[in-house]
A and B are shown apart, each in its own frame.
Chain A
Amino acid sequence: MDASSSQAVRVRRKTTPWAFQVAVNRLKQAIPTIACVLVVNFFLVRLIPGDPVDAFVAKAQGADQAFKDHIRHEMGLDEPIWVQFGIYLSKVAHLDFGWSFQNSAPVLDVILLRLWPTVLLLVFSIGVSLLGGVFLGVTAARYSQTWKDRTIAFMSMVLYAMPAFWIGLSLIVVFSVKLRLLPVGGFDTVGSGKTGIAYALDVGRHMTLPALTLGLFYLAVYTRLVRASMFELLDSDFVRTARAKGLSERTVLWRHMLPHALLPLLTLVGVQLGSLLSGVIVIETVFSWPGLGRLTFQAALQRDYNVLLAILLMSTVLVVCANLIVDLLSAWIDRRMDVN
């Protein structure tokens, strides 16, 4: 008893500087990571076959040579690659991401406009799927091997197996085409002139189906994970002790078992954050959501180097930050963890 309580006191005393330390250490590690990504990406995008100038004129059905030479010069692609790289580095250092010829606008404007719809979509869908996944997983564990558990296991398997675009189109057919309850796609009602709460509700209506589609997939993944983790814990000593103490089943499940089951869940979320951009491409396309996923896909097809590099850099920074948060959360949940 004594030892454990003194340890608890020690940990609590260390909390503030400890979190700060972790953050600082992580950022130190992040700088070389980001630098590496910067270099690798620059050369990687140039390895994609297909010429940005060809892709640029594709929208205009091709072009004559004089025009293409002119565009190549404007894009700075007629310089040797090392010179291009130098220019790129110095521009990034000044937070200048260049001009997107495919969008006729500065790259930063193009990206920032698309960033917030995607963040909104992700926060909602992941939030919903985390809450739902934990609830269903715990419920399945509580009623293990009964019809409730089997239904949850079956449904999560089905959702996990269905492709996202298919779920999306099915939801559109049911809720938009047949019932006409929700819009088919888009971010808001164009030209509605709504502001404030009315506008937020309007966006919410538009976001319901895409967030649900994206969320359902993650919901299935999280449910299965929580359920499996909980099952593993059902026979462990501390659970038996808690039950022997006469704690209610609810308390045992939610207060004693769940924190242990959350750790693998958090790890998984952290890993998945890295693949989110590719995950939203389909959803954003099906629901005409003006987000980053579509922009990334478009930029890759159009060989829009400037946009592509800026998105890759930004998503690297975002992933590093998100992982830092996940690490801190894990450490907070399980103090034994040495995050350094």
Chain B
Amino acid sequence: MISRRTVLAMGGGLSLLPWVGRLVAQEAKQPSSGGVLRVAVYDDPRSIFSPIETGDLELTIGSKIFETLLRLKADNSFEGVLAESWKYSPDGTQYEFRLRDGIHFHDGKPLTSEDVAFSILQLGKKYNAFGSTLFANVTSADLPDAKTVVFKLTKPMPPFPFLGMLAAFGPIAPKHLYDVADILKNPQINKPVGSGPFRFKEWNRSSSIVLDRNPDFREKAQPYLDQIVFRIITDPGARAAAFEADEIDAGVNSPVSKADLKRISELPFIAVDATGNKATEGVNALEVNLRRKELSDVRVRRAISMAIDRAFICNAVYSGMAAPARGPIRSDSFLFEPALPELALNVEEANKLLDEAGYPKGADGWRFTLNIDPNGDDLNVIGEYIKQAIANIGINGNIIVSDYATHNARIYTDYDFDLSIQVISTLVDPQISVFDYYWSKAISKGRWQTNATDYRNEEMDKAIDVAESAIDADQRLAAVRQIQTIAARDLPLIPLVEYESHNVFNKRVQLGSTGPVWPLQNWADAWLEK
């Protein structure tokens, strides 16, 4: 569950393993109503009030109650959910959304443009942990009528990242219920009322969360399910057993461990899907602290990169469910730069580079010592391998394992690290979460998942500026590709592998409309075969 905190990614891409099935190609069957969908989740969410949350767990559960304006489809186009249509000004500073007719909240009140503006500008911008960054350029909204909202941006933003951001982090909540003082401490946070196909029923802490069918949903026949029960099962072994014992119908974001997956997928009633979850995939990389003298030399960084056998990590750590990475953007993304070189293993050349850089082996056989900080789960296993790999080129590795909070404080607040192993996830678009690792303006003490390496390069900054504001798709693509080329040359982050995550289902589950972010869809058209 390496990627459990990551939310969105995109692109098609085929599964890397033949036995990981695909649910997209199901023949069309007539949906039948009724039944309870039992979904395994790995922990209690912090809250179910998804308009202020960014965690995958909170959004997975909340997205059935609170809907977004639009959703992302497998072909990287958007489909309206609450919005009927949308358009943007040619300069990319105004985005207009027209809402569908007849949308009501669970309490019967209509959903209006005022609720949309409130959810983004008040809730999202203020209480969403990323809000002030995500929505930094969104400063005001015009409401010409109850069905139209026009967001005004202070700086142009390309349509794909902007719409993608709203699809992931823009659930809409009723203003008349949540316009309260400090929502984080207000009991109202535990009474989620949205417009979605399911209504909140109960949250038995550490045990289950139950959502009931919303009988007044705008699509008359939908939702097909009577109830969704999220069962909180912390132990991955117990989740696997629950699938085997038919006590669970679905699990998202790699619900069973890689070790159990093959066995579970061979059960006749289980299907494993690797497409509906492109959402949670990313690239694992080493963040390199350039403040350290040895590491500020690009030859040393190249040598470390050459010492790593990426195919070995794919097989040993990910049981084949990963591929060697070439850059910070996944190779199945339409923004990927295909000209990037493969990062091959070459110990001899690496040793030569280190000698050239002026770090000969000492009497004890070591050139110098580096701390390795892996960020939990699979990354800890990768850490063990990196230690062995760099030992081959005379670098002594010292692994420092700490829990999530401590790790991130070491890397992003104290900058007390040499090599940190991190998941670089693409949240819809690299603009939201990837560029910050390379941008000198994103060096910001205390902010996680930004530039902790102290990499500063004018050429890179310029390319990022263009990519973040170019409205023309081709111009933007060229800039994003340039970013990848410079990143591969300078290696402030050393890419390791692109991993694959999966959703597991009982075969009676019919997904309805699929997409690369299936866990965050509202599941109105999901149903159970009798």
* In contact, B405 and A51 (Cβ under 8 angstroms): yes
For the complex, give the distance between the alpha carbons of A288 and B38 in Å. Answer: 15
* In contact, B446 and A176 (Cβ under 8 angstroms): no
* In contact, B184 and A64 (Cβ under 8 angstroms): no
Q: If A64-B130, A191-B229, A295-B206 touch, does A49 touch B245 (CB 8 Å cutoff)?
A: no
Q: Mark A277-289, 1 if CB is under 8 A from B, else 0.
A: 0000000011110
For the complex, give the distance between the alpha carbons of A287 and B241 in Å. Answer: 11
Q: Mark A24-56, 1 if CB is under 8 A from B, else 0.
A: 000000000000000000000000011100110
* In contact, A61 and B229 (Cβ under 8 angstroms): no
List CB contacts (< 8 Å) of B132-160 with chain A: 132-133
* In contact, B241 and A177 (Cβ under 8 angstroms): yes
* In contact, B205 and A113 (Cβ under 8 angstroms): yes
For the complex, give the distance between the alpha carbons of A187 and B231 in Å. Answer: 11
A317 contacts the other chain (Cβ, under 8 Å)? Answer: no
Q: Which size class do A's interface residues fall under?
A: 35 or more
Binding-face segment, A80-88, A178-186, A228-236, A264-272: A178-186
* In contact, B46 and A103 (Cβ under 8 angstroms): yes
List CB contacts (< 8 Å) of A91-112 with chain B: 99, 101-105, 110
In the complex, chain A residues whose CB is within 8 Å of the CB of B43: 298
A336 contacts the other chain (Cβ, under 8 Å)? Answer: no
A57 contacts the other chain (Cβ, under 8 Å)? Answer: yes
For the complex, give the distance between the alpha carbons of A196 and B280 in Å. Answer: 43
* In contact, B205 and A290 (Cβ under 8 angstroms): yes
Binding-face segment, A65-73, A125-133, A154-162, A213-221: A65-73
In the complex, chain B residues whose CB is within 8 Å of the CB of A302: 405
In the complex, chain B residues whose CB is within 8 Å of the CB of A172: 237-238, 241
Q: Mark A169-204, 1 if CB is under 8 A from B, else 0.
A: 100110011001001111110110000000000000
Binding-face segment, B50-58, B92-100, B347-355: B50-58
B6 contacts the other chain (Cβ, under 8 Å)? Answer: yes
Interface centre among A110, A113, A183, A288 (most CB of B within 10 A): A288
Q: If A104-B46, A190-B231 touch, does A62 touch B129 (CB 8 Å cutoff)?
A: yes
Q: If A57-B448, A301-B404 touch, does A286 touch B238 (CB 8 Å cutoff)?
A: yes
In the complex, chain B residues whose CB is within 8 Å of the CB of A184: 238, 241-242, 245, 247
Q: If A287-B238, A290-B206 touch, does A61 touch B5 (CB 8 Å cutoff)?
A: yes
A3 contacts the other chain (Cβ, under 8 Å)? Answer: no
Q: If A50-B406, A187-B207, A288-B207 touch, does A62 touch B235 (CB 8 Å cutoff)?
A: no
For the complex, give the distance between the alpha carbons of A311 and B242 in Å. Answer: 30
Closest to B47 in A: A104
* In contact, B233 and A59 (Cβ under 8 angstroms): no
A137 contacts the other chain (Cβ, under 8 Å)? Answer: no
In the complex, chain B residues whose CB is within 8 Å of the CB of A185: 233, 238, 242
Contact of A59 among B46, B205, B237 (CB under 8 A): B46
Q: Which size class do B's interface residues fall under?
A: 35 or more
Interface centre among B229, B242, B412 (most CB of A within 10 A): B242
Closest to A172 in B: B241
In the complex, chain A residues whose CB is within 8 Å of the CB of B206: 114, 288, 290-291, 294-295
* In contact, B404 and A58 (Cβ under 8 angstroms): yes
* In contact, A50 and B55 (Cβ under 8 angstroms): no
For the complex, give the distance between the alpha carbons of A257 and B43 in Å. Answer: 49
Interface centre among B5, B36, B444, B448 (most CB of A within 10 A): B448
In the complex, chain A residues whose CB is within 8 Å of the CB of B244: 177
Q: Mark B205-228, 1 if CB is under 8 A from A, else 0.
A: 111101000000000000000010
B374 to chain A, nearest CB (A): 16
In the complex, chain A residues whose CB is within 8 Å of the CB of B44: 103, 298
In the complex, chain B residues whose CB is within 8 Å of the CB of A59: 5, 46, 53, 55, 57-58
Interface centre among A58, A169, A295, A301 (most CB of B within 10 A): A58
Q: If A54-B405, A74-B184, A187-B204 touch, does A294 touch B241 (CB 8 Å cutoff)?
A: no
B46 to chain A, nearest CB (A): 5
For the complex, give the distance between the alpha carbons of A101 and B246 in Å. Answer: 35
* In contact, B245 and A288 (Cβ under 8 angstroms): no
In the complex, chain B residues whose CB is within 8 Å of the CB of A51: 405, 409
In the complex, chain B residues whose CB is within 8 Å of the CB of A227: none
A63 contacts the other chain (Cβ, under 8 Å)? Answer: yes
In the complex, chain B residues whose CB is within 8 Å of the CB of A67: 127, 129, 131-132
B457 to chain A, nearest CB (A): 23
B333 contacts the other chain (Cβ, under 8 Å)? Answer: no
List CB contacts (< 8 Å) of B229-257 with chain A: 229, 231-235, 237-238, 241-242, 244-247
B199 to chain A, nearest CB (A): 14
For the complex, give the distance between the alpha carbons of A181 and B246 in Å. Answer: 12
B185 contacts the other chain (Cβ, under 8 Å)? Answer: yes
Question: Which 6 residue pairs are nearest across A and B when measured between Cβ atoms?
Answer: A62-B448, A63-B129, A290-B206, A60-B129, A55-B405, A50-B405
Known: A103-B205, A288-B231. 18 other contacts (CB 8 A): A50-B409, A54-B405, A62-B449, A67-B132, A101-B185, A104-B47, A114-B206, A172-B237, A176-B247, A177-B241, A177-B245, A185-B242, A186-B207, A187-B207, A285-B234, A285-B235, A286-B237, A294-B234
24 contacts between A and B (CB under 8 A): A50-B403, A50-B409, A59-B53, A59-B57, A62-B130, A63-B448, A64-B129, A64-B133, A74-B185, A113-B205, A176-B245, A180-B245, A184-B238, A184-B242, A184-B245, A190-B204, A191-B36, A191-B227, A288-B206, A288-B207, A288-B231, A288-B233, A291-B206, A294-B206
